[in-house]
């Protein structure tokens, strides 16, 4: 039993693994809290990839928040219909976008230590499960913000003749371009979060 635990993991070859696995399961069950688990291998690799992806998602979410939050355009002229200035808080949807992406950024920063725990202890199940559940909620959150902003940006670009909503992007061109960029960044963050959920699920499954 002790020889199984102290053996180098690369020396366990495939035909042996069925019997050693059964033994290791018993070893894990009995000495769970005391010793680090001998085989980490691909789970550690997945955890490191998880950490890197998490930083990418953080960058995307921060970029979305910052771009949308600082977007501001003042026109050199004004008419009866259009104001001097366009900024994100003219539209409640964009305010929600900023808040949601800021929350997602905050969550991603706070999740980095847990991701490091996943690298140090590749077999810690509780941390992975917690991250998976919160990641899923954040997928919904980020996607909702991005989709709602995208619907409004589409309206700003094209208008809608049926409801008599006019396009405003002819006037506020810079504003529209920056907002579109923020929406794209937020969608990228959402896609990376989906990958994180998939990664956690793959790492969680019984082997």
Site residues (vs its own copies, CB under 8 A): 18-19, 21-23, 25-26, 29-30, 81-83, 86, 90-93, 125, 128-129, 132-133, 136-137, 139-140, 143-152, 154-156, 160, 162-166, 168, 190, 194, 197-198, 200-202, 204-207
Which of 40, 201, 45, 200 lies closest to 122, judged by CA? 40
Q: Beta 72-74 vs 85-87: how paired, if at all?
A: antiparallel
Nearer to its own copies, 110 or 140 (CB): 140
Residue 41 C-beta: closest distance to its own copies, Å: 15
Provide, rounded to whole angstroms, the least separation between the CB of residue 168 and its own copies: 5
Euclidean distance between CA atoms 36 and 60, whole angstroms: 35
Choice between 63 and 183, CB closer to its own copies: 183
Q: Give how far the C-alpha of residue 186 lies from the chain's centroid of Cα atoms, to the nearest Å.
A: 9
Closest Cα to residue 143, out of 178, 108, 96? 96
Closest CA to 98 of 159, 145, 43, 166: 145
How many other C-beta atoms can be found within 10 angstroms of the C-beta atom of residue 182? 28
DSSP state of 49: H
SS3 188: helix
Q: CB of residue 5 vs its own copies: minimum separation in angstroms?
A: 15
Size (the chain), residues: 207
The CA-to-CA distance between both ends of the chain, in Å, stands at 20
Question: Could you tell me the smallest distance in angstroms from the CB atom of residue 78 to its own copies?
Answer: 12
Question: Minimum CB separation from its own copies for residue 200, in Å?
Answer: 8
């Amino acid at each position: 039993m002790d020889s199984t635990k102290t053996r180098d993991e690369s020396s366990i070859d495939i035909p042996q693994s069925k019997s050693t696995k059964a033994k290791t399961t018993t070893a894990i069950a009995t000495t769970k809290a005391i010793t680090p688990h001998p085989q980490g291998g691909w789970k550690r690799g997945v955890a490191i990839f998880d950490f890197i992806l998490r930083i990418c998602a953080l960058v995307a979410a921060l970029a979305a928040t910052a771009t949308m939050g600082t977007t501001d355009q003042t026109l050199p002229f004004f008419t009866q219909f259009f104001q001097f200035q366009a900024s994100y808080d003219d539209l409640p949807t964009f305010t929600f976008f900023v808040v949601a992406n800021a929350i997602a950024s905050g969550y991603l920063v706070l999740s980095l230590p847990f991701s490091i725990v996943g690298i140090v202890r590749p077999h810690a199940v509780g941390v992975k499960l917690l991250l998976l559940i919160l990641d899923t909620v954040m997928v919904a959150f980020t996607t909702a913000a991005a989709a709602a902003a995208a619907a409004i940006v589409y309206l700003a670009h094209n208008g809608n003749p049926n409801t008599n909503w006019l396009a405003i992007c002819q006037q506020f061109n810079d504003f529209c371009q920056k907002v579109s960029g923020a929406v794209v960044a937020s969608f990228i963050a959402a896609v990376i979060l989906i990958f994180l959920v998939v990664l956690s699920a793959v790492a969680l499954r019984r082997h």
